[in-house]
Amino acid sequence: MKKPVIAIDGYSSTGKSSISKVIADKLGLIHLDTGALYRGVTWFALQTCKDENGTIDLNQLFSSLEKIQLEFKNDEGELVLYLNHKDISKEIRTNEVSDNVSLVAKQKEVRDFLLQSQRNLAEKGGIIMDGRDIGTVVLPNADFKFFLTASIDERTKRRYNELLSLGIEADEQQVKENLIERDKIDSEREIAPLKQADDAIVIDNTHMTKRETIESILSYIHKI
């Protein structure tokens, strides 16, 4: 029996990636954090495609996309992102990347570049993919679609604590403003905006623990 294809979309800091990892482990699926791919392209752009003002030169990035090789490698059960054979799993979580990823992710050239690779990974089934447009654009025929949401204050707290746990200095108000701005950019972009698929199951986990959110998602999957 073919293993399912599961799409989990939602806002930043709703726990999409960490929750998807646990579900993948429980169901024997591969987990793909698509947000990490966009962060990888953003990190590449910040290293190699800046203009004289220190901001990302998008045209330079577009012409450099063929130089980008992104791959996940299994490191003791953890999928680690490599860019051109370099482990960038910590670099992509910095504030600088967070401040620029929505700009990069809304570009059609970047989305087209990453779209087919994401679909290819899902062809054989047995995958759980999280992001912002998985159920609507990347995997519209996924077996299960979930959309995670939570209040801005709760998401701010989670993101702030995540940064501290990574040893990254952060200001809580700045984190909140960054999340609000990312929500706006992600929801209003012309190409593949963040939105709930019509057939997605919505889970508001503002007052739910990570474990409770996981159990809720699994309850829907096990019903089939």
End-to-end CA distance of the chain: 13
Residue with tokens 């889970």: 203
Closest-CA residue to 14 (of 220, 212, 205): 205
Q: Is 151 annotated as a binding residue?
A: no
CB contact burial 83-107 (16+ within 10 A = b; e otherwise): beeeebbebbbbeebbebbbbbbbb
Q: Is 10 annotated as a binding residue?
A: yes
Q: Is 126 annotated as a binding residue?
A: no
Q: Is 13 annotated as a binding residue?
A: yes
Q: Is 11 annotated as a binding residue?
A: yes
Q: Is 16 annotated as a binding residue?
A: yes
CA distances from 13 to 148, 182, 190, 207 (A): 10, 11, 22, 14
Q: Is 216 annotated as a binding residue?
A: no
Q: Is 28 annotated as a binding residue?
A: no
Q: Is 131 annotated as a binding residue?
A: no
Contact residues for 185 (Cβ-Cβ < 8 A; gap 6+): 102, 103, 106
Binding residue ranges? 10-18
Binding residue ranges for ATP? 10-18
